[in-house]
Chains A and B, each alone.
Chain A
Amino acid sequence: MAHRIVILGAGTGGTIVANRLQRLYGDRAHITVVDRDDVHVYQPGLLFVPFGLAHPSEIVRSRQAQLHGDVEFVLAQVRGVALDSAIVHLEGAADIAYDVLVIATGAVLQPEETEGLLSAEWGRSIHTFYSLEGARVLHETLADFREGRLVVDVIDMPIKCPVAPLEFCFLADWWLRERGVRADVEITLVTPLDGAFTTPLASERLGSLLDEKDIRVEAEFATGRVEAAARKLYSWDERELNFELLVAIPAHGGADYLGRSPGLGDALGFVPADRHTLQAKAAKNVFAIGDATDVPTSKAGSVTHFEAQTVVENIERHLEGDELTGCYDGHANCFVETGFKKALLLDFDYEHQPLAGRYPEPHLGPLTLLGESRLNHLAKLAFQPLYWHVLLPGHDIPGIGSRDRDDGHLDAARQEPSKAVGSR
């Protein structure tokens, strides 16, 4: 009998895993992917929408169209997962039994978790760019924004793409200068962490960017509530900050059904999973990938892409009755837009904080790690077609993958004392 593999979520992780498993198993598996809608958003593109650098229609495609033709796609809301009986319950659709379940439902925005955030000012003086609709509406508001304090507020960690709020500040600086109103706007980044940069090497190399771009940082400010009518933010310890325009990154949590599935989600609804095998701690036949997990690395597409290889390998081993040997190392890389058509590139894993150097080839690059360059910016722009046509179908991107790192730059950098600063 064919293996019954059910994947919840058709975003980056669910799509890559489904396509790789379909090619691996063919008729020997029946693969079902469930999602509540058919809108696949290229999330790195959300950052560009408020500044008119991308139109919402350019970063959206059908979820189903990204899946291999033999994968079954079910459009339904998940009501819950019964681990003991290995059944997924859906709203308004038949239950699905599974041999292996993959949880790939990402992270959801929870603005309702912060008192006063979802007020009459939502969409007027209070915005987010973390959703397609939010980014679209913010673009309209920014067009008329000429003076006052712009506050970019990270409500709580973890968030998707933790550098995106900083990138937003950099792009806002550029955009406001282009429009000739930068002198009349103060840009403040609010973070619950103790700085915009929290690792020593990044802090040393990149700290000056904030001064150059005149971006203020309000650190260790954990937002407790918003008084929308007065346009004020309050921290839990009653520090006060006023704003003309608030761009909030709402608290994140796992998908709702995880809270309704005993044993699956933690206090925030993320799935406790082994950080190396990605097997859920609640059940041996459940795996988790991407933003949905609680593993200690960034919630980012590159992480999901690298994790997919481990998840596929370990599903295969689990179904064969073998010990899990696939091993994810926390590898992540990301481009950080710094404005003026430049970008930084970061690369790190569980053991190493972001390092300086070149990527993907040590010494050669062509991309520069932890430094600004135009090529990094062009590479970030060039990534979207790769995402749809190479990454989602589950093909390898030459030079970029977890496995290639056996002789990769991180190990090379470790051996060079001059570059090893960031690893300690």
Chain B
Amino acid sequence: MSTVTLAGAEVEVDPEGFLLDARQWNEQIAQEIARQAGIDALTERHWQVVNFMRQSFLDTGSAPSIRTLGKASGVPIKELYELFPKGPAKLAAKIGGIPKPRGCI
């Protein structure tokens, strides 16, 4: 665990840069994390996914999988990969300030 400054705010992150406390998140922090991951500007479609991820996590305690995103976020899976290259579920979680999707070990 370490403390970093993102968009002028001090936040606690895990070794991979995921926020440890979802309550410390704000939209400027999201933009900053996205920039560091190579996404220059978050579009409306990015936000649709990020907000869905975040709300799902706050409601259920876990981050949705790729399949759930494809079925329920309103953005098809192919487009998810265009918006968030390599790993949409992981990257959108990071930008949304929620924990990394993980297994039990």
Chain A residues in contact with chain B, CB under 8 A? 113, 156-158, 162-163, 191-194, 197-200, 202, 206, 220, 222, 224, 236-237, 251, 266-268, 272, 275, 294-298, 300, 332, 334, 336, 346, 348, 350, 354, 424
Q: How far is the CB of B24 from chain A (nearest CB, A)?
A: 16
Contact among B61, B68, B77, B86 with A275 in the assembled complex (CB-CB below 8 Å) = B61
| Contact string against A for B residues 38-77, beta-carbon threshold 8 Å, 1 for contact and 0 otherwise | 0000000000000000000001111011111001100001
- The total number of A-B Cβ pairs within 8 Å is 87
Residues of chain B lying within 8 A (CB to CB) of residue A236 = 66, 77-78, 80-81
Label chain A's interface by main secondary structure: loop
Q: List 13 A-B contacts (CB under 8 A).
A: A158-B65, A191-B103, A192-B89, A194-B100, A198-B102, A200-B15, A222-B66, A236-B78, A267-B64, A268-B67, A272-B60, A275-B60, A294-B60
Q: A220-B87, A237-B85, A275-B60 are in contact. List 18 more A-B contacts (CB 8 A).
A: A113-B67, A163-B105, A192-B66, A192-B89, A198-B100, A198-B103, A236-B66, A236-B80, A237-B81, A266-B68, A267-B68, A267-B71, A267-B72, A294-B60, A294-B62, A296-B61, A298-B104, A354-B105
Residues of chain A lying within 8 A (CB to CB) of residue B37 = none
User: Contact between B61 and A295 (Cβ–Cβ < 8 Å)?
Assistant: yes
User: Contact between B102 and A220 (Cβ–Cβ < 8 Å)?
Assistant: no
Contact among A157, A198, A251 with B105 in the assembled complex (CB-CB below 8 Å) = A198
Residues of chain A lying within 8 A (CB to CB) of residue B77 = 224, 236
User: Contact between A237 and B86 (Cβ–Cβ < 8 Å)?
Assistant: yes
Residues of chain A lying within 8 A (CB to CB) of residue B71 = 267-268
Specify which of B67, B78, B81 lies most central, judged by the most chain A CB atoms within 10 Å of its CB.
B67
Q: How far is the CB of B70 from chain A (nearest CB, A)?
A: 9
Residues of chain B lying within 8 A (CB to CB) of residue A267 = 64, 68, 71-72
User: Contact between B65 and A157 (Cβ–Cβ < 8 Å)?
Assistant: yes
Closest to B90 in A: A194
Specify which of B61, B80, B102 lies most central, judged by the most chain A CB atoms within 10 Å of its CB.
B102
Contact of B4 with A by CB under 8 A: no
Cα A163 to Cα B85 with chains together (Å): 27
Q: How far is the CB of B97 from chain A (nearest CB, A)?
A: 17
User: Contact between A162 and B60 (Cβ–Cβ < 8 Å)?
Assistant: no
Closest to A219 in B: B87
Residues of chain A lying within 8 A (CB to CB) of residue B9 = none
User: Contact between A251 and B102 (Cβ–Cβ < 8 Å)?
Assistant: no
Residues of chain B lying within 8 A (CB to CB) of residue A296 = 60-62
Q: How far is the CB of A269 from chain B (nearest CB, A)?
A: 10
Q: Given A220-B86, A236-B77, A272-B60, answer yes or no on A354-B15 (Cβ-Cβ < 8 Å).
A: no
Cα A268 to Cα B70 with chains together (Å): 11
Cα A236 to Cα B65 with chains together (Å): 13
Cα A157 to Cα B78 with chains together (Å): 18
User: Contact between B66 and A346 (Cβ–Cβ < 8 Å)?
Assistant: no
User: Contact between B104 and A332 (Cβ–Cβ < 8 Å)?
Assistant: yes
Contact among B65, B85, B104 with A346 in the assembled complex (CB-CB below 8 Å) = B104
Cα A266 to Cα B105 with chains together (Å): 25
User: Contact between A220 and B90 (Cβ–Cβ < 8 Å)?
Assistant: yes
Q: How far is the CB of B91 from chain A (nearest CB, A)?
A: 10
Cα A30 to Cα B56 with chains together (Å): 37
User: Contact between B105 and A199 (Cβ–Cβ < 8 Å)?
Assistant: yes
Q: Given A267-B71, A267-B72, A268-B68, answer yes or no on A162-B61 (Cβ-Cβ < 8 Å).
A: no
Cα A219 to Cα B16 with chains together (Å): 16
Contact of B7 with A by CB under 8 A: no
User: Contact between B87 and A162 (Cβ–Cβ < 8 Å)?
Assistant: no
Cα A220 to Cα B90 with chains together (Å): 9
Cα A197 to Cα B64 with chains together (Å): 19
Residues of chain A lying within 8 A (CB to CB) of residue B61 = 275, 295-296, 350
Residues of chain A lying within 8 A (CB to CB) of residue B1 = 424
User: Contact between A156 and B105 (Cβ–Cβ < 8 Å)?
Assistant: no
Residues of chain A lying within 8 A (CB to CB) of residue B89 = 192, 222
Cα A202 to Cα B85 with chains together (Å): 27
Q: How far is the CB of A46 from chain B (nearest CB, A)?
A: 18
Residues of chain A lying within 8 A (CB to CB) of residue B62 = 294, 296
Cα A202 to Cα B104 with chains together (Å): 9
Cα A336 to Cα B105 with chains together (Å): 11
Cα A234 to Cα B85 with chains together (Å): 16
Q: How far is the CB of A114 from chain B (nearest CB, A)?
A: 9
Closest to A205 in B: B105
Cα A195 to Cα B41 with chains together (Å): 28
Residues of chain B lying within 8 A (CB to CB) of residue A332 = 104
Residues of chain A lying within 8 A (CB to CB) of residue B103 = 157, 162-163, 191, 193, 197-199
